A and B are shown apart, each in its own frame.
Chain A
């Protein structure tokens, strides 16, 4: 990977507090989080559940405001959500009243593009994520893996510079998860978006990423940033390699310290 790549996202000293239910005091959820993302990089953010990694992603997505610090996208601080930073949610968040095709068209239609052009593109993306023939299905009629494929297509069709993924495959069985990993890496090869991938699975984080950010339990702090040296394309057998296992063990040791 080229060292001189452009910095696309800078997370700088981000802190976030939530009110306790009785509103008497505040809980610190994120504490001075800092890391950079270069254009086209895959970064996994890994940490125990409840460490605030989803909150961090929501701040980067522009859905929540940081109480301290700042997140800069292309040197501009983030003021709200944008399709340039598209999110794939854990529960897929497809619109249940729209078909697969309508869900994927949704974003382009908000941009008021030519309808014929939109449908042409949608057809292409449906094919790309392997949902051919499921155009007219409603989300509830699809399996979890297929729902995430549709959600991925709905985000990718916006040609985002950054793809934010919040434990997107956590609810899938291991078979479909592997298939989704392969699909995600294929899409990354094709479009080269920067990907921020939040997960609590160390193996998944290591397998996908160029760089991982390891976070502590609440209050979430960055424990370590680790570069992942494995060559791409990575074979599925990588997860059995000695070097991979060693790295996995050291990250796990960090998490369960």
Chain B
């Protein structure tokens, strides 16, 4: 894939004006740390941060205990996010479809789902710790729970809002019940479903950190917790950047997958 087509596929546009503020903040940060008014343990300098990042990625400098561990920790985190997110998809999509398509089903499950939703995700942490123990399983559970709601709600909304006129057109042209579902209702609800999936994936990364902070040996959240206890603020910030990086990459992959759907005209821009 050549760069121009890649740019087109991912819709990457760089607006020079948007860079002004980050550059200004970077300069301010550099000045603050180099005049020595803020200690390294409180706010590491940009230079220090760059060296720690390179070290984390390559293991070349050996200046932190985490040198060269970027890939293994990332992999552990990505696995948890993928697991939780797929779990949310596999429950949220079918339930959302049934609720949107069958009014009686919606009346049965919707009140309970909204009741559960009023409990903030963090509120589930203590219970999850009891049920699943400290670590990986709890993390996957929290991710799945958090990502479920936007996926479910947007699917219900999308399926329920399919234009009756399009359904009539489908019936008139000879689509049976199953045909209507696969050729009219599902494609027509795609924009809303995609929006829900995308929000769900974003939340997955947020809850990854929460879950991993409870204590796992591998994962970006685990490194953060460890670095905090050892006073490596620089490492902590590097982990935040890594999570932002993976979050963005996973979002781009998602958009790319949506675009390669047959009904790609409904994929997000």
Where the two chains meet, the residues of A that have a C-beta atom closer than 8 Å to any C-beta of B are: 61, 63, 80-83, 85-87, 89, 91, 93-97, 106-107, 110-111, 138, 154, 158
Contacts and interface: CB of A to CB of B under 8 A. Distances in A.
Contacts, number: 58
Given A81-B171, A154-B173, A158-B173, A138 B265 contact: yes
Interface stretch (B145-153, B183-191, B237-245): B183-191
A14 B181 CA distance: 32
Interface residues of B, number: 21
Nearest to B187: A97
B183 A106 contact: yes
Contact of A110 (B163, B175, B263): B175
A80 B171 contact: yes
A154 B172 CA distance: 11
B11 interface: no
When A and B form their complex, which 9 residue pairs have the shortest distance between CB atoms, in order from nearest?
A107-B173, A97-B263, A110-B174, A93-B169, A81-B171, A93-B165, A81-B172, A97-B187, A83-B174
A220 B79 CA distance: 65
B258 interface: no
B39 to A, nearest CB: 58
B228 interface: no
Contact of B166 (A61, A80, A95, A154): A95
A81 B174 CA distance: 8
Given A83-B174, A97-B190, 18 more contacts: A63-B168, A63-B172, A80-B171, A85-B172, A87-B169, A87-B172, A89-B169, A93-B163, A95-B184, A95-B187, A97-B263, A97-B266, A106-B173, A110-B174, A110-B176, A110-B179, A111-B174, A158-B173
A110 B174 CA distance: 6
Prevailing SS type, chain B contact patch: helix
A63 B172 CA distance: 9
B184 A83 contact: no
B165 A91 contact: yes
B173 A83 contact: yes
Nearest to B261: A97
B44 to A, nearest CB: 50
Given A61-B172, A86-B172, A158-B173, A97 B265 contact: yes
A3 to B, nearest CB: 32
Contacts of A80: 171
Contacts of B190: 97
A107 B170 CA distance: 8
B172 to A, nearest CB: 5
13 contacts: A61-B172, A63-B171, A63-B172, A82-B174, A85-B172, A87-B169, A93-B165, A97-B190, A97-B263, A97-B266, A106-B173, A107-B174, A138-B265
Contacts of B179: 110
A86 B170 CA distance: 11
B265 A110 contact: no
A154 B166 CA distance: 13
A94 B266 CA distance: 15
Interface in B175-205: 175-176, 179, 183-184, 187-188, 190
A96 B265 contact: yes
A157 to B, nearest CB: 9
